[in-house]
Amino acid sequence: MPIFKVLHILSMFAAVTLLVGEHLFYAAAVWRRDVRALAAIRRLSVAPLYLAEGAPVVAIGFLLAGIVFGLLTALTGGFDLFAGWLIAAYVLTATILVFGGSPWVRRLARLGDEAVEADAGKRPVAEVVRHMAGSHAGLLFVIAAALFAAIIVDMVLKPF
C-alpha cells in the first residue's frame, strides 16, 4: 500500500536526520576541541528524547517504525522479500543497529558527560580536551553517514 511506503520514507528520513545529525554535531565539537559546545550538545542529547544512557529514543523509534513500515510495504506491495537489494538492506540495517550500540559510539556519550562535568567546573577542561584528541568522532560520523548513504542508494537504485 502506498501509505506504508510514505510512512517508511518519512520515518527513515527522520531517523537518518536525527542519528547522523547527532554524529555530525559531536564530530564538529570534538574537531574544534570545543568543550562547551560538546557539553551543550550532550545536555541536549539527554533531554527527554533520550534514555538515561544517552540512547536516542525518538531516533531509534523512527528507525524501528521505518523498518516495520518497510516490511509492510514489501509484504503489501508484492515485493520479493529475498530480492538481492532487500537482503542488502537487511544487512545494512543490522549493521546500523550494531554500529549504533557499539562501544565506540557509546564512548562519545561518555565524552559528552565529561564535557558537561568540565563545563560545570567538576573536571579539568584540559583532561576533556585530551580525551577529545583521542576520540574518533569524525570517523564515526563518516561511518554513520556512509552506512545510511549506502542503504539510501540501495533503496533507490535496487542494484541487485
CA distances from 45 to 12, 30, 50, 61, 114 (A): 19, 15, 6, 15, 14
pLDDT by residue (tens digit) across 65-117? 999 999 999 999 989 999 999 999 999 999 998 998 889 988 988 999 999 99
Q: Is the pLDDT of residue 160 over 80?
A: yes
Distance of alpha carbon 29 from alpha carbon 11, whole angstroms: 27
pLDDT at 55: 65
Domain boundaries, the chain: 2-157
pLDDT by residue (tens digit) across 116-149? 999 999 999 999 999 999 999 999 999 999 999 9
